[in-house]
Copies of this chain bind each other. A is one copy, B any other.
C-alpha cells in the first residue's frame, strides 16, 4: 500500500521561465489561494468591502510621485495605427499613455475620487491584486507580485482610532496564517519631525536626516553620526540626540514618551512633538489593551516618514528579519483630493508574493495534497463508467470533491493514480455488492454508501500547515534570528 507523507510545499515550487515573474505549481498556488482566502475572511469580518481596480492607469496618475516612475511598465498596442488620434496608447501625452499599476494605493486614491459621489465614508476597503514593477531583471526582484491592502478613507476627516484598528486587523489576519509571528512596528511622522525641530534641526534638513538615519543598520551608529554632521550639517550634539531617538522602542506608552522626552537632552518639546507623542501613546495604549504584543513603538523607522503625515507601520516576521518589512503603511492626511474635497486615509499593505516565496522556499509549510480531490472513484470497466460517475456526483452533491479514474485500468494502477496525487481515498463501486472505500494510506477498506459516507474531517479539503508540526498546532517561529535590516520602504 503506498504510504503518503505530507508533501513539503517547496517541492512544488514555481518553474518560471521568465525571471521576475513567479508562477506556482498547483501545490504552491493552493498555498497562495489559502493565504488570500484567510486574509479576505479576516478583512470581511471587520466590515471591509472588497474591490478590484483595473490593472492600468494613465501615466500621469502613476508618476505623480516621480520617485517610482522608473519602475513603470508602459503599454503599447502591437499594431496600433499611428494615425489613430483617439487611442490611449502610443502617444507622448502622459494623461493618455497607459501603464500597469505598481501598487494598489495610487489606483485606490484615483478610485475614491472617481466614485466620491457614490461611496459612503468612512469607506473601508480591502484589495488583493497583482501589481507590476519594471525592475531590471538582474536585480532578482519580482516584476509581478500580489499585494493585499486594507485602507480606511474618510471624507474631510478620519478619526484617529482607525490608526489603531488598521494594524490590529492586519495582525489578526497574519496570525491566522501558518507563518512565524509578525510584529508591527510603529512610529509617527510628527514625533520624528517634532523631535528634530525641538533640537534645532531645520525643516529643510528633515528629508536628509531621515535618509541618513535609515542607513543605521548598514553603516552603524558611528557612520550615521558622522554623516549627520558631515553631509546634513548637524552638530555632534544634534547627531547624538537623533541616534538616541532612533534607539527608542517598546510597548509601554508612558515609557516610550518618557524616553523621547529624555532624549531631547533638556530641549523644549515643540508643539508638533507633543501632538505626535500623544498620538503614539494613545495608539500604544489602545493596542496593548486589545492585542498585547502585536504592536511595538520603534523610533528607528525612517523610511516612509517623508510621505506619511502621522502614524507609520512596518512589520517583521520572527526569524526572517532579513526579509525587511513584510507589511507597511501609515496615515496620509491627503490620500486623495478632487480639488473641493480631501480624503484622509490610513492603511497597510502586505507584499504577499514575497512573504509566500520566503515561507515556501524556507520549507516552513506543508500541504496535505496538491489537488482538491478527496476521493478517486475507480472504474471497473468502461461500460460501467456511468456507475462511477453517479458515485462521484453523489459525493459532490454533499460537498466532497471527487474525481473518476481516467481509464478502467487494473485497480492497482488506479490506486497508484490516486497515490501519485496524494488523494487519500479510492472508492470501488460494488455493482451487485455494496460499494466500498479504501483509505490508501492505512489500507483500511470499509463498506460505504455514496449518500452517507464522510471522510475524516482532516481529509475533507487540502490543508496548509507549518512543516513538521502536527495538525492543529499553531504556527511555530523559526529559531534563527538575524539583525533587523533596513526596511523595504513605504508601499
Check if A21 is an interface residue, CB within 8 A of chain B. Answer: yes
Q: Mark A84-122, 1 if CB is under 8 A from B, else 0.
A: 101111000000001110000000001100110011101
Q: How far is the CB of A441 from chain B (nearest CB, A)?
A: 18
Q: How far is the CB of A241 from chain B (nearest CB, A)?
A: 35
Given contact pairs A372-B49, A403-B46, A132 touches B55 in the complex (Cβ within 8 A) = yes
Is B136 touching A84 in the complex (CB atoms < 8 A)? yes
Is A47 touching B372 in the complex (CB atoms < 8 A)? yes
Q: How far is the CA of A78 from the CA of B393 in the complex (A)?
A: 52
Q: Which of B21, B134, B159, B372 contacts A80 (CB 8 A)?
A: B134
Q: Which of B49, B77, B124 contacts A74 (CB 8 A)?
A: B77
Q: How far is the CB of A109 from chain B (nearest CB, A)?
A: 13
A59 contacts across to B, CB distance below 8 A:
78
Is A15 touching B50 in the complex (CB atoms < 8 A)? no
Is A18 touching B56 in the complex (CB atoms < 8 A)? yes
Given contact pairs A15-B114, A137-B88, A23 touches B125 in the complex (Cβ within 8 A) = no
A402 contacts across to B, CB distance below 8 A:
45-47
CB-based nearest B residue for A57 = B18
Q: Which of A36-67 contact B (CB under 8 A)?
A: 44-56, 58-59, 63
Q: How far is the CA of A32 from the CA of B115 in the complex (A)?
A: 18
A100 contacts across to B, CB distance below 8 A:
75
A421 contacts across to B, CB distance below 8 A:
120
A51 contacts across to B, CB distance below 8 A:
24-26, 29
Which one of A22, A47, A50 has the highest number of Cβ atoms from chain B below 10 Å of its Cβ? A47
Is A44 touching B370 in the complex (CB atoms < 8 A)? no
Which one of A22, A29, A110, A372 has the highest number of Cβ atoms from chain B below 10 Å of its Cβ? A372
Which one of A19, A136, A138, A286 has the highest number of Cβ atoms from chain B below 10 Å of its Cβ? A136
Q: How far is the CA of A58 from the CA of B16 in the complex (A)?
A: 13
Q: Which of B138, B393, B403 contacts A124 (CB 8 A)?
A: B403
Q: How far is the CA of A371 from the CA of B48 in the complex (A)?
A: 7
A125 contacts across to B, CB distance below 8 A:
26
Check if A230 is an interface residue, CB within 8 A of chain B. Answer: no
CB-based nearest B residue for A376 = B47
Q: How far is the CA of A304 from the CA of B395 in the complex (A)?
A: 35
Given contact pairs A401-B47, A402-B47, A78 touches B69 in the complex (Cβ within 8 A) = yes
Check if A332 is an interface residue, CB within 8 A of chain B. Answer: no
Q: How far is the CB of A410 from chain B (nearest CB, A)?
A: 16
Q: Mark A1-40, 1 if CB is under 8 A from B, else 0.
A: 0000000000010011111011111100110110000000
CB-based nearest B residue for A73 = B75
Q: How far is the CA of A372 from the CA of B41 in the complex (A)?
A: 10
A50 contacts across to B, CB distance below 8 A:
26, 29-30, 33
CB-based nearest B residue for A408 = B159
Check if A385 is an interface residue, CB within 8 A of chain B. Answer: yes
Check if A248 is an interface residue, CB within 8 A of chain B. Answer: no
Check if A420 is an interface residue, CB within 8 A of chain B. Answer: yes
CB-based nearest B residue for A120 = B420
Is B407 touching A159 in the complex (CB atoms < 8 A)? yes
Which one of A17, A52, A78, A125 has the highest number of Cβ atoms from chain B below 10 Å of its Cβ? A78
Check if A399 is an interface residue, CB within 8 A of chain B. Answer: yes
Is B119 touching A54 in the complex (CB atoms < 8 A)? no
A491 contacts across to B, CB distance below 8 A:
none
Check if A130 is an interface residue, CB within 8 A of chain B. Answer: yes
Is A74 touching B76 in the complex (CB atoms < 8 A)? yes
Is A371 touching B77 in the complex (CB atoms < 8 A)? no
Q: How far is the CB of A97 from chain B (nearest CB, A)?
A: 9
A403 contacts across to B, CB distance below 8 A:
46-47, 124
Given contact pairs A48-B372, A50-B29, A118 touches B15 in the complex (Cβ within 8 A) = yes
Given contact pairs A26-B49, A122-B406, A69 touches B74 in the complex (Cβ within 8 A) = no
Q: Interface of A with B (CB < 8 Å)?
A: 12, 15-19, 21-26, 29-30, 32-33, 44-56, 58-59, 63, 69-81, 84, 86-89, 98-100, 110-111, 114-115, 118-120, 122, 124-125, 130, 132, 134, 136-138, 144, 154, 159, 161, 286, 289-290, 370-373, 385-386, 389, 393, 396, 399-403, 406-407, 420-421
Show 28 residue pairs from A and B whose CB-CB distance is below 8 angstroms, ordered by the A residue. Answer: A12-B118, A15-B118, A17-B110, A18-B54, A18-B58, A18-B98, A23-B53, A25-B119, A26-B49, A26-B51, A29-B49, A30-B50, A45-B372, A54-B144, A55-B130, A56-B144, A73-B75, A73-B76, A73-B78, A75-B75, A75-B134, A78-B134, A81-B136, A86-B138, A88-B137, A89-B134, A120-B420, A159-B406
Query: Which 4 pairs across A and B sit closest by C-beta, in order of nearness?
Result: A47-B403, A77-B134, A47-B373, A21-B54
